[in-house]
Structure 1
């Protein structure tokens, strides 16, 4: 385990951080797509009112249950391509269909563009005949933020909740109040306070970072569905994950928090080369199947 994660750290450390948004997006697509998608998973593009999206379905999976996936990237990078291998693998593990979306990115499209796109994807699934209990939502990093924002928006609109939410390395506090942003700085090869400050500035576009709409840590979380939170112990965003799990629990939301020793930010993206990445996906897939069974039988 230690050797695998050390090799991944060395790979990231050998590449200087790009400056422009175009370079950042290109690099994220490259480093997150180090390994090819599973050979047996079928990926099918779909257009959701101009929003690019992609279905995936593995042989033997249940197409009547779907995981709506929001990629990470600080709301400024990331794509369907960057997370395709992981999305295909997790769909196969859980035995369900997935729908990944390419939501609009900041700074060209700051808040609330991503949330609007997430709600478009939700409405698309409902129009396709998926009942809310047959849908789960999953996101990593900023995608975890977007997952929570989407759930709060659905609750406020009086809509039925999905079966479950699954957060991986979620970025939940855009005020950067977590102590681990500093205490884990030396061991996190991907995330830093300075880096997040730039992303938040681009995404917020002068909106107050304490606004619950952009920092779910400060939101009213009552009524949200059962939630699984997974985070690595070597993450600068460890406090964001622990904090949101605490807030969910305080709001009487059933929540499971897993802290994976030595793992880095969004480590399951590299599950093909990390044993703990595969184990994390398998653990979550089993939890997700159980949540679907509770809601749909």
Structure 2
């Protein structure tokens, strides 16, 4: 059944149950945390505890990577093409998350695409800034080139804040005049850190994970003092001309729904080959919850099909 699911499918019973559990646990935790450094660190500690319990199937190889100022890990399923690579930037509002927390996504992504996945453990707020994260993402990309990977062998992706980071990386590469990767996949991207889209208000009650007021406050912290030309705004104000094929995945009921719509529209208007999927009533970044949500498993098939044409 999972393989037949698509964006237009009605939400499964399992996803409805997962939505309720996630709302009661993860969303409530963030809602009750104060808008302070201590509040952010409280959420991070909780996420770290959850990540510490994550396991991968037998046969999945995990190798740590040290970039000096930050780290990462390679995730390989049983059968991969070592000539290809998927550079992935995890979500977490730029203040939590790590490769272990996202292993349920990374091993499935490797299995679906038959590529080794490099999950970057970029530096986080409040100790660091999204600009530091972009520096780290660029260094990780350059390290792949130094290892002999051509840009055409690399796919870049990310979810939520990591989706913003992946798009920022592509814009930064374009600004430098570098050849862009073969394709990009962004899942529920937080593209507009200013949170100006209508869905931030319209879907405030229907989003099962993100409290709109919290992400709006956080975006205000990150963009305070930044002018319109700051790279933080590139995903919604930058020029997408010349971008590689782009897949954008989102949920119809999340507060970031219109961020995804805007990215898809801007890229399409710039002549980019875009696949935009808006899944019915799924939790934010639902592929992360693939252990419990059939739609999450199905999303990896759609990603494989998208990349299979590239």
TM-score by length of 1: 0.92
Tell me the residue number matched to 1:214: 232
Structure 1, unmatched stretches of 5+, are 292-297
Q: Distance in 1 between matches of 2:288 and 2:158?
A: 11
Deviates more, 1:183-192 or 1:66-75: 183-192
Tell me the residue number matched to 1:239: 258
Report deviation, 1:108. 1.6
DSSP 3-state at the match of 1:21: helix
DSSP 3-state at the match of 1:189: coil
Tell me the residue number matched to 1:88: 107
Deviates more, 1:266-275 or 1:7-16: 7-16
Report deviation, 1:38. 2.9
Q: Structure 1 residues 227 and 211, CA, compared in 2 at 3 Å: closer, same or farther?
A: same
Q: 2:12 aligns with which of 2, 27, 30?
A: 2
Q: Distance in 1 between matches of 2:255 and 2:173?
A: 29
Q: Distance in 1 between matches of 2:53 and 2:198?
A: 31
Q: Distance in 2 between matches of 1:32 and 1:283?
A: 26
Q: Would the aligned equivalents of 1:38 and 1:85 in 2 still touch at CA under 8 Å? A: no
The answer to whether structure 1 residue 78 and structure 2 residue 97 are counterparts is yes
Report deviation, 1:63. 1.3
Tell me the residue number matched to 1:152: 171
Q: Distance in 2 between matches of 1:212 and 1:218?
A: 10
| Matched residue count | 290
Report deviation, 1:14. 2.6
Q: Distance in 2 between matches of 1:275 and 1:34?
A: 21
DSSP 3-state at the match of 1:259: strand
Report deviation, 1:8. 1.4
Structure 2, unmatched stretches of 5+, are 1-10, 34-38
Q: 1:11 aligns with which of 18, 21, 25?
A: 21
DSSP 3-state at the match of 1:283: helix
Q: Distance in 1 between matches of 2:199 and 2:50?
A: 24
DSSP 3-state at the match of 1:89: helix
Moved over 6 A (4+): none
Q: Would the aligned equivalents of 1:106 and 1:203 in 2 still touch at CA under 8 Å? A: no
Q: Distance in 2 between matches of 1:43 and 1:205?
A: 38
Q: Would the aligned equivalents of 1:57 and 1:63 in 2 still touch at CA under 8 Å? A: no
Measured on the aligned residues, the alpha-carbon RMSD in Å equals 1.7
Q: 2:293 aligns with which of 243, 266, 274?
A: 274
Deviations along 1:176-198, whole A, 9 cap, x unmatched? 11111111111112113211123
Q: Distance in 1 between matches of 2:307 and 2:52?
A: 24
Tell me the residue number matched to 1:55: 74
Greater relative contact order, per chain length (Cα 8 Å cut-off, separation 6+): 2
Matches within 5 A, 1:100-115: 100-115=119-134
